Amino acid sequence: MTVSTNEKGMTLMAVMVFMTIFAFVLMAAAPSIQMDVQREKELEAIRRGEEIAAAIDQYVVYNQGRKLPQSIDELLEGQPDGTKKRQILRASSATDPLSADGRWRLIQPEPEVIARFAKRVQAWNNGVLPSTTNAQYYNRYTVAIANILNTETEDEKDDAEEEDDFAASDDVPFIGVASQSRGKSILAYYGVENHSKWIFTPLFRGTGATVIRPTRQPNR
């Protein structure tokens, strides 16, 4: 049976209409898909960051608080356990899924830097810092942080809130890690909505990730 020119034209038009509708559907769904992908990356970053914090804690406990790790590789090497070594950090956790090069920022044990994050944790937790695991090994840090929080003026608090610490590289003692990404997050970690301000450290433990539901834009 021969298909007429008109029928061919109608078929082509129907295909074009279908493709146009399909394109609009994809465009409408794209932001939601992108948000889901970003949320999963953030959840993975939190999981990996928490694993690093736990590995730092195991390292500090093993060394009875006498020293801190100086590189991620040192955590990946594990801890002596008889004639073998016990793994304390998975290889995948050594990579930051939010940063372009996959490298974590190493946070040095500087009370002023950690106090910025501690202040946010404190605000999220109704004015109380979560208890520290193996507190006896971290007293020198937590006491210094508490002193800063108790003596800050309101102006100093406002100034500190705007600061971002991007110092600390390999081969320095570190007590936590943070992402290099400066992006605004979909999730909140202890109420913090910026990747670079999430500090994963054994000083503050707990499940602090909560979903932020974005404001719906009005129809135009």
pTM: 0.77
With residue 140 as reference, give the H or E element that holds it: helix 139-151
- In terms of Cα–Cα distance, which of 180, 201, 181, 206 is closest to 49? 201
- Give dist(CA 105, CA 85) in Å, integer: 26
User: What is the Rg, in whole angstroms, of the alpha carbon atoms belonging to the chain?
Assistant: 24
What is the residue-level pLDDT of the chain in tens, covering all 220 positions?
Answer: 555 566 655 676 766 766 777 666 556 655 677 888 899 999 999 999 999 999 999 999 999 999 999 999 999 999 998 888 999 999 999 999 999 999 999 999 998 889 989 998 888 888 888 877 788 999 888 888 888 888 865 555 544 444 454 545 567 899 999 999 999 999 999 889 999 999 999 997 655 555 444 444 444 4
